[in-house]
Structure 1
């Protein structure tokens, strides 16, 4: 059950001790690398506060990257619709769709940071209803409709896009937990979900909560049962290649702990212990549950194949890049995933393996023929 495509999800998170300009330059380099390596999609996050995610306009970055890349598709990951007027969202996406020659995906959601909402005057208690109203308006505008709507949060009067999408449509993907309410929204709007395999890792405590993979599998099954196009599903998974799972934990623990304590504990104020042993246990627990896929290439491929077997057909499997590793290590990981994991999941080596099998089975017989050919060859 192989995905149709593979992508990279770049939130992007960076330690505030790193120069924001350097962080942006590094992310641009990663986007170019992903294109060179053959990834199909690159997802770029949007954040407005908190210091860890400083990319405020993925559309601007996509417009710049469109001229520097050849084939990779770019997705906003995600555009929080309640923060923006729907007409502006639709106009910007249509423009970027032309600048990229049809390589843009509108990834959208409600947003997560309360401070982001408060800075632009959005009431956090209304974001779900606000999001749904904005999504309906954006969908209609991108479909070429003239929209007039009055809501408690925005007004649209005789709005129409002067610049229509480059091709027939722009794909709209919704970041979703696949709750009953979310499944209803997805089925009613005909949008594609992208789901995270991991729960918010900043809140994870070892030994608590249900099995995340089993929970997601159940939610996916519910969505597929109600969707007219159940194959249209994306999953976002963190994968780290290392000599072993234990070695991988050692390589990740500093960045994982630094982000949990620096972002989730200090900035967002979530209650969690600072003890190194507790944070290591949280990471180890996620690896043991298969929520984070860590190990050598064969082990990671086996884990992913099991996951894909449980989730079923995917539109895209995206590899999550949470900012736990130095830039050089992220480059190495993306390269190794493209070279060792993606081909295995795509059965890219099936042809060579079958040829080796056939020729080796025939080797003895063919060796006799070669010998006979040599003996019977006429003298020169």
Structure 2
């Protein structure tokens, strides 16, 4: 398995927006240092909390600050962009990051974004399907001529081919409907299940993957579970009590976002404790059920999800601002220190070496004891003879041997 972070982001209105964006970049750097595999940046244009309008700008900045971590658009709302211009930006970023770019594709999440652009939200999934028909060959360096009611391409091509021969990985967002997984199967693309922690979506994950497999088979594609990503929310500390206390710091500021989106008062909004209870049991709108606890709780949740889905390739932590910056960083450190190596069995050889040494300890200790005894005898026996020779009354010593030459009178 691989692990990463999904930065929508969710920044409360009380914070400094400049510092919030800088911390998003710092988090990408920290993820790189901690051994995470991926970071994804979202695209949103309204509602105040999700403040990244251009994931490409974040990738360009993060690419200069990191060394090895993969960087993805999570996701591009493709119904808002001309496919040629979007493909051009992605391929350019692929070169700027030396092949570390991934492209996430979605119809657009916030209806307020679509409203500002004069787009009917009911059309967005059809628009995404049309955009994909153009984006896939364009990103591969092919020429596209295609006309729809919202874009018109004439012998369109990007000027650069991808940085490496393996190309650029494209992943389609999937929430509740089978639209995303069907399109991913048809075009041989990856699946990004962004609502895996939502109880409604969680029950459909296995079914949606089956739809993906059927669509892939119908179009001669090979479905790959190792390229299936699921997104969930967690905050970890040394104890469950500490994790809850840390999340109390900002849970009400963050969950105010849902009241703004839905226009109604949330009954659990009265206290941080009630909000955390709601989050960890029935779940919060958009966020689903969160894990607020210890690394052991995180391990158990990921293993349950693996069992429910039949297996996936990457687990992405959905980044939130419910805890202080220091506590947030510590949470990811605990995840990297204890959760990742447990899931990936990174210490299996060390554990095997320990068990082998324990099982053979009697034999090893016996041989070591014998070696010490033999070395002691080898050292003390000649020394004793030498001491005897020195103790004579001045007469010629009779001590001789390879290590003790004959003394003259």
TM-score, with length taken from structure 1: 0.89
Structure 1 residues 172 and 84: alpha-carbon distance in aligned structure 2, compared to 1, 3 A threshold: same
Structure 1 residues 344 and 128: alpha-carbon distance in aligned structure 2, compared to 1, 3 A threshold: same
In structure 2, which of residues 356, 360, 363 is the aligned counterpart of residue 362 of structure 1? 360
Structure 1 residues 46 and 174: alpha-carbon distance in aligned structure 2, compared to 1, 3 A threshold: same
> Could you report, residue by residue, the CA deviation over 1:260-297 in whole angstroms, capped at 9, with x for unpaired residues?
22x1112552553333365343123147xx94233322
Unaligned runs of 5+ in 1: 200-209
* Equivalent residue number for residue 379 of structure 1: 379
Contact 1:212 1:291 in 2 (8 A): no
* Equivalent residue number for residue 284 of structure 1: 280
> Could you report, residue by residue, the CA deviation over 1:281-339 in whole angstroms, capped at 9, with x for unpaired residues?
3123147xx94233322232133123213323323211111222222222111111111
* Equivalent residue number for residue 234 of structure 1: 229
Contact 1:38 1:338 in 2 (8 A): yes
In structure 2, which of residues 298, 301, 304 is the aligned counterpart of residue 300 of structure 1? 298
* Equivalent residue number for residue 214 of structure 1: 203
Contact 1:213 1:291 in 2 (8 A): no
Higher mean displacement: 268-277 or 343-352? 268-277
1:30-41 alignment to 2 at 5 Å?
30-41=27-38
In structure 2, which of residues 114, 119, 125 is the aligned counterpart of residue 117 of structure 1? 114
Structure 2 Cα separation of the partners of residues 212 and 116 of structure 1: 23
Structure 1 residues 177 and 267: alpha-carbon distance in aligned structure 2, compared to 1, 3 A threshold: closer
Q: What RMSD over aligned residues (CA atoms) do the two structures have, in Å?
A: 2.2
* Equivalent residue number for residue 252 of structure 2: 257
> Could you report, residue by residue, the CA deviation over 1:9-65 in whole angstroms, capped at 9, with x for unpaired residues?
111111111111111111111111111111111111111112112111111121122
Structure 1 residues 132 and 318: alpha-carbon distance in aligned structure 2, compared to 1, 3 A threshold: same
* Equivalent residue number for residue 332 of structure 2: 334
> Could you report, residue by residue, the CA deviation over 1:229-276 in whole angstroms, capped at 9, with x for unpaired residues?
141311112222234445433432453332222x11125525533333
Structure 1 residues 353 and 247: alpha-carbon distance in aligned structure 2, compared to 1, 3 A threshold: same
> Could you report, residue by residue, the CA deviation over 1:122-174 in whole angstroms, capped at 9, with x for unpaired residues?
22221111111112111121122221222111211221111121123211111
Contact 1:97 1:166 in 2 (8 A): yes
* Equivalent residue number for residue 89 of structure 1: 86
* Equivalent residue number for residue 171 of structure 2: 173
Structure 1 Cα separation of the partners of residues 312 and 321 of structure 2: 25
> Could you report, residue by residue, the CA deviation over 1:56-104 in whole angstroms, capped at 9, with x for unpaired residues?
1111121122122111110001110011111110000000000001100
1:79 aligns with 2:76: yes
TM-score, with length taken from structure 2: 0.83
* Equivalent residue number for residue 136 of structure 1: 133
Structure 2 Cα separation of the partners of residues 100 and 194 of structure 1: 22
| Secondary structure in 2 matching 1:77 | strand
Unaligned runs of 5+ in 2: 217-221, 381-409
Higher mean displacement: 59-68 or 33-42? 59-68
Structure 2 Cα separation of the partners of residues 226 and 152 of structure 1: 26
Task: Show structure 1 runs of 4+ deviating over 6 A.
Answer: none
Instruction: Answer with 1 or 2: which has the greater Rg.
Output: 2
Structure 1 Cα separation of the partners of residues 250 and 132 of structure 2: 35
Structure 2 Cα separation of the partners of residues 358 and 104 of structure 1: 43
Contact 1:8 1:320 in 2 (8 A): yes
Structure 1 residues 235 and 95: alpha-carbon distance in aligned structure 2, compared to 1, 3 A threshold: same
Structure 1 residues 237 and 47: alpha-carbon distance in aligned structure 2, compared to 1, 3 A threshold: same
* Equivalent residue number for residue 52 of structure 1: 49
In structure 2, which of residues 260, 265, 274 is the aligned counterpart of residue 266 of structure 1? 260
Structure 1 residues 247 and 222: alpha-carbon distance in aligned structure 2, compared to 1, 3 A threshold: farther
In structure 2, which of residues 125, 145, 149 is the aligned counterpart of residue 148 of structure 1? 145
| Secondary structure in 1 matching 2:137 | helix
Structure 2 Cα separation of the partners of residues 220 and 294 of structure 1: 28
